[in-house]
Amino acid sequence: MMNGNVELSVLRAGEWPQQWARVRAFLAANLLGMDEDIGLFVMAQRDGELVGCAGLATNVIKCVAVAESERGENLAARLLVEVENLALEQGHFHLFLCTRPCNLARFEQCGFWLLARCDDTAVLLENTPCGLTRYCRQLARQRRPGAKIGAIVMNANPFTLGHRYLAEQAARECDWLHLFVVREEASFFPYQERLAMVQAGVAGLGNVTVHEGSPYLISRATFPGYFLKEQGLVERAWSGLDLQLFRQHLAPALGITHRFVGSEPFCPVTRAYNQAMHHWLEQPDPQVSAVQVVELERHCRPSGTAISASEVRRLLKSQQFSRIREIVPESTFVHLAHHYRAEVA
């Protein structure tokens, strides 16, 4: 792993805190932050001085930086090759990278292909020219006929009566409804549990297809915002990239004409995302059809209080199952009681 006197080495999470501090300082000097989910770094050192690094968080390459004195020496390409090899060893063949638009050409030269761009804020790339096309081809096999085809994207952490109400109302208004469950492991409930709760919760609706999540539905919890200093820019980049992928690729594959969402009285981030939907999905575009956003009032209890998954999680921590039963479908309650009662756990 030598090239002249530049040496590459691997630094893994939990090892050598002083070296992690060095990488953090190096990134800061290059106007980059460090996302906390990074599992390893490839470090490039010349005569003991850190001159480059690249991080890996499962299948997302992050925090690629090269000292100004080393630019033009192909060091970024070497770092990327080493990170990709390490990802392959861990079983991650399909990799993503998010960066500033000014870096787009550099990463395209290193074998990455553009997926989406959010103005002058961020670009999203993947290490294959056919990954998105292949996924959309798979989606198209599940396309259903109809003039009004709806979609819902939900985290369902866990699936509540509010989620059930949203699905019921959307299904009633549409010829067919496609329901996507965001795939990520940064939630209270593991992905497979969330997916199972959604499938059970909508089992009685005859015109609904539940789709497993994909990397093309970008999770806010795992969005790589290390290159954006302001939190507002992180939210803007995440929503812009995610919604462009949905409108330009996923919606056409399934013939989706409407996207349904519940109103958001609690979380400002989710509320801002709902507002961004109108901009990214409805604005005129000669290249792709618009997707109409339908925002439904959040389902409330008789008292008028909106139902939220965060309340379920709070009640679960204090084992208040009688109150949980009031705000989740029976299928969700059975799952929670079976797996999360203190005496069972």
Residue-wise pLDDT for 35-93, tens only, equals 889 999 999 999 999 999 999 999 999 999 999 989 877 899 999 999 999 999 999 99
Q: At which of 93, 114, 134 does a domain end?
A: 93
Whole-angstrom CA distances from 326 to 194, 224, 306 are 19, 37, 12
Give residue-wise pLDDT tens across range 241-264.
999 999 999 999 999 999 999 988
Q: Assess if residue 104 is contained within a domain.
A: no
**Contacts (Cβ under 8 Å, ≥6 apart) of 206:** none
Type and span of the H or E element at 186: none
Give the span between the Cα atoms of 147 and 93, in whole angstroms: 38
**Alpha helical stretches, state H, the chain:** 17-29, 75-89, 104-109, 131-140, 161-173, 191-201, 231-245, 251-254, 268-282, 309-317, 321-324, 330-340
Please give the residue range of the domain that contains residue 29: 2-93
Q: Does residue 158 share a domain with residue 251?
A: yes
Give the CATH number of the domain where residue 37 resides. 3.40.630.30
Q: At which of 34, 65, 93 does a domain end?
A: 93
Whole-angstrom CA distances from 340 to 189, 299, 332 are 11, 25, 11
Location of structure tokens 């103005």: 119
Q: Does residue 312 share a domain with residue 199?
A: yes
Q: Assess if residue 184 is contained within a domain.
A: yes
Q: Does residue 84 share a domain with residue 146?
A: no
Token pair for 80: 């990327």
Q: Assess if residue 126 is contained within a domain.
A: no
Q: Assess if residue 136 is contained within a domain.
A: no
What is the phi/psi pair of residue 174, to 5°? Answer: -115, 160
Give residue-wise pLDDT tens across range 316-342.
999 999 999 999 999 999 999 999 998
Give the CATH number of the domain where residue 315 resides. 3.40.50.620
